[in-house]
Amino acid sequence: MQVPAPLDAMVQAIRRDADVISARQMGRALAEDLGFSRPDQALVATAISELARNIVVYADHGEIELTTLQQGDRQGIRIIARDHGPGIADLERALCDGFSTGNSLGLGLPGTRRIMDEFDIRSPPGEGVTIIAVKWQLR
Amino acid sequence: MREVISSSLSDSEGKPEFDQDLVDAMRWFDLSDHDRALTSELGDIADDVGERIIEAFYTHLLADETASRHFRDDAHIAQVKKGQMRYFRELINADLDSSYIADRRRIGSIHERTGVTPTLYIGAYAFYLNKLANVVLDRMEDDPAKAFSMVLSLFKIAHFDMALALETYADTREEAIKARERELSELPTPVLQLRPGLLLIPVVGTLDSYRARALTIQLLEGIQEHRARAVVLDITGVAAVDSAVANHLIQTMAAARLMGAQPVLTGLSAEVAQSLVKVGVTAEALSTAGDLQRGIELAEHLLGE
């Protein structure tokens, strides 16, 4: 059984393309509520989209969890993408532009890392992939 | 555990067999042979008062306007009552095996289809359990402790039943949603000829890989049919554009180019454009125009007009 998410977190189970859209919309709405600029709302939505899409394509199912962070007087959005799929054998390569084991552009992970302020990826053998990414509000 | 209850639906068509999922599910409900043995002892009482409880239940049910709407006539009521008697008898002493689960799920899906809401279903269940429990505690006055544990075991099995039914409700809905999604993704994308040699394709909705493939085929057929030399692909109506969608578009546009038509992409919003660039999608692979009008102008220019 999974560790439950903190109470203020929003979770979207990711199983198919429609869930990617739901997660993305959830993220955009949260970013809007927190007063992120429109371009930043789009960045958050895109990051969620990329991470959720990876879950559908590579892990079959997983979840996206969104939490609001507070640091001093600025707020941020933390995205956690979690799956229990086969994991990523070579994290370093997976973070390189253009590397893909699927038939894609290979921009999902490196692209997400570029558009977020913080990015951490873990894939211990046999435990799927957990990605934590944070976007802070511009001051 | 969750998988159990949901996956047994697909097994229901095939051979019922003893599986690990069922074992896990029963462990989750803390259900054991002991519970089964205890509730089986309720058989006599349940048979004895079963009919009366069901009669009382129907009085209760038919007094409720929403609930009574589910019944066409007396014959229908009689038929459903008979089914209910069987249902409750199985609750008391049927083997909790794969075929039991399959049967419960079948009933759940009938309920879902006929519009019996979870509230109605669980409410009916609660009514029966409440009445039966009272009778049991009454009749076993001399051994209340045993009566109580029998009732508790019965409640466990009833909850297991309700979980099965609710999983079925959710699965049935999910199937319906999936079917709708499939239908939507099969909606043809119109290929409009604006003038000889120039096509406009407005793409609306979600661009998943299935849909992208269909779009590519339609685009290529359109190019062939209309002998098009330029195509404007407008994605104003695409819900979400990320690198996967961009990839589909790039491939579709490359295919158009191979067919001898110049593709122009329009309808990217400023925010989407910015995030795509940050993600790393480069504009070289895509010829784009700011809006539809400029896209058409660009396409006309490409046509040499």
Does A4 map to a domain? no
For residues B238-252, average pLDDT: 81
Instruction: Give the Cα-Cα-Cα angle B146, B147, B151 (nearest 5 degrees).
Output: 115
Under an 8 A CB cutoff, do B246 and A16 touch?
no
Does A72 map to a domain? yes
Does A89 map to a domain? yes
Q: How confident is the model at residue B8 (pLDDT cuts 50, 70, 90)?
A: very low
Judged against a pLDDT cut of 50, whether residue B7 lies above it is answered with no
Under an 8 A CB cutoff, do B246 and A112 touch?
no
Q: What is the pLDDT of residues A17-73, one digit of tens each?
A: 888 888 999 999 999 999 999 889 989 999 999 999 999 989 988 999 999 999 888
Under an 8 A CB cutoff, do B279 and A18 touch?
no
What is the reported pLDDT for B23?
82
Q: Which residues of A touch B208 (CB under 8 A)?
A: 17
Catalogue all structural domains in chain B, each as residue range(s) with its CATH number.
2-183 (1.10.490.10), 192-303 (3.30.750.24)
A62 near A84, Cβ under 8 Å? Answer: yes
- Rounded to an integer, what is the distance from CA B35 to the centroid of its chain? 33
Q: Which residue of A has its CA nearest to B240?
A: A21
What is the reported pLDDT for B267?
87
* Count of other CB atoms within 10 angstroms of residue A89: 10
Six token digits for residue B26: 């029963």
The CATH number of residue A100's host domain is: 3.30.565.10
Domain that holds residue A87: 10-136
Judged against a pLDDT cut of 60, whether residue B53 lies above it is answered with yes
Among B181, B247, B275, beta carbon nearest to A43? B275
Does A121 map to a domain? yes
Six token digits for residue A63: 């979840």
Under an 8 A CB cutoff, do A21 and B240 touch?
yes
Q: Which residue has the tokens 């690198």?
A: B243
Does A3 map to a domain? no
Does A39 map to a domain? yes
Q: Does A63 touch chain B (CB under 8 A)?
A: no
A114 near A50, Cβ under 8 Å? Answer: no
Under an 8 A CB cutoff, do B247 and A104 touch?
yes
What's the Cα-to-Cα distance from B28 to each of B22, B90, B155, B159, rounded to whole Å? 10, 21, 14, 11
What is the reported pLDDT for B12?
41
Q: How many structural domains are present in chain A? A: 1
CA-nearest of B93, B88, B104 to B53 is B88
Residue B295's H or E segment, with its range, is helix B292-303
B120 near B23, Cβ under 8 Å? Answer: no
Q: Does A13 touch chain B (CB under 8 A)?
A: no
Q: What are phi and psi of B156, to 5 degrees?
A: -60, -50
Judged against a pLDDT cut of 70, whether residue A82 lies above it is answered with yes
| 117-136 in chain A: CB under 8 A from chain B | none
